Amino acid sequence: MFDAIAPHYDLLNRVLSAGIDRRWRARAIASLELTGHEVVLDVCTGTADVALQARRDGAARVIGVDFAGAMLRLGLDKVCSAGQSGRIALIRGDATNLPVHDASVDAVTVAFGIRNVERTDAGCRELARALKPGGRLAILEFGVPTLPGLRQLYQWYFRYLLPTVGRLVSGHGSAYTYLPQSVGAFPSPPDFVTLLRQSGFTDVRAVPLTFGIVYLYTARRAP
């Protein structure tokens, strides 16, 4: 499914979020407080938008991991066009069996991908395993607004308009029906905070962005 929608993925991200997705990614990278020396691991990197943002905002090196080969090929084109092929490495891999050593990276990011990991608990434990003690985590994931009126409008958009536009642009019948289904099946913010704590993280916070349409989860790897 992800390989099939790869050619239209970036365009649909811009259109369906009205361009706000760039601000969400920038906010996530800013939360890492990079100093210019860090190695950042971007899990579910897709077409490498977050990896490139991390480099722009101070990461010394970035490792991007994704299981969709077509996404990675597009990401590699973007990385090469930006002149970052020496600083960003893209690897095909599994989020529950990351191709990095224990405690080998300074920061980890996941943007709109953790809900696609079949065993979310195993994926979170892998993120903790890869991080150095004290290393920072930033996860972006969709949520549901709690404001009355906006909640109903958003749910209508997410369940009906978004799948229709996604299907027309991408030509894929089920990909953008899967999106609201996967968001509905993902743990609530309090439950996901608990899961991160159980996985080896401390200082865990869930910060609502854009009225709770998206949540930024931040944490540190426990000693």
Per-residue pLDDT tens over the stretch 11-48: 888 887 888 999 999 999 999 999 999 999 999 999 99
170, part of any domain: no
For residue 7, being part of any structural domain is answered with no
Give the chain's domain count. Answer: 1
Residue 3, domain member (yes or no): no
- pLDDT, average across residues 116-129: 96
- Which residue type does 25 have? R
64 versus 160: the higher-pLDDT residue is 64
Smallest CA-to-CA distance from 114 within 11, 9, 193, 15 is with: 193
pLDDT computed for residue 9 by the predictor: 83
CATH assignment of the domain containing 44: 3.40.50.150
Whether 204 is in a domain gets the answer yes
Q: Is the pLDDT of residue 223 over 90?
A: no
Position 108 in a domain: yes
Q: Is the pLDDT of residue 205 over 90?
A: yes
Closest C-alpha to 29, from 55, 66, 60: 55
Band (pLDDT 50/70/90 cuts) for residue 71 is very high
Residue 130 within a domain: yes
Checking if the pLDDT of 73 tops 90, the result is yes
Could you say which DSSP state residue 157 is in?
Answer: I
Decide if 36 is inside a domain: yes
More confident residue, 183 or 47: 47
Range of the domain at 105: 18-144+187-221
Handedness of CA 74, 80, 82, 84 (dihedral sign): positive
Query: Does residue 47 belong to any structural domain of this protein?
Result: yes
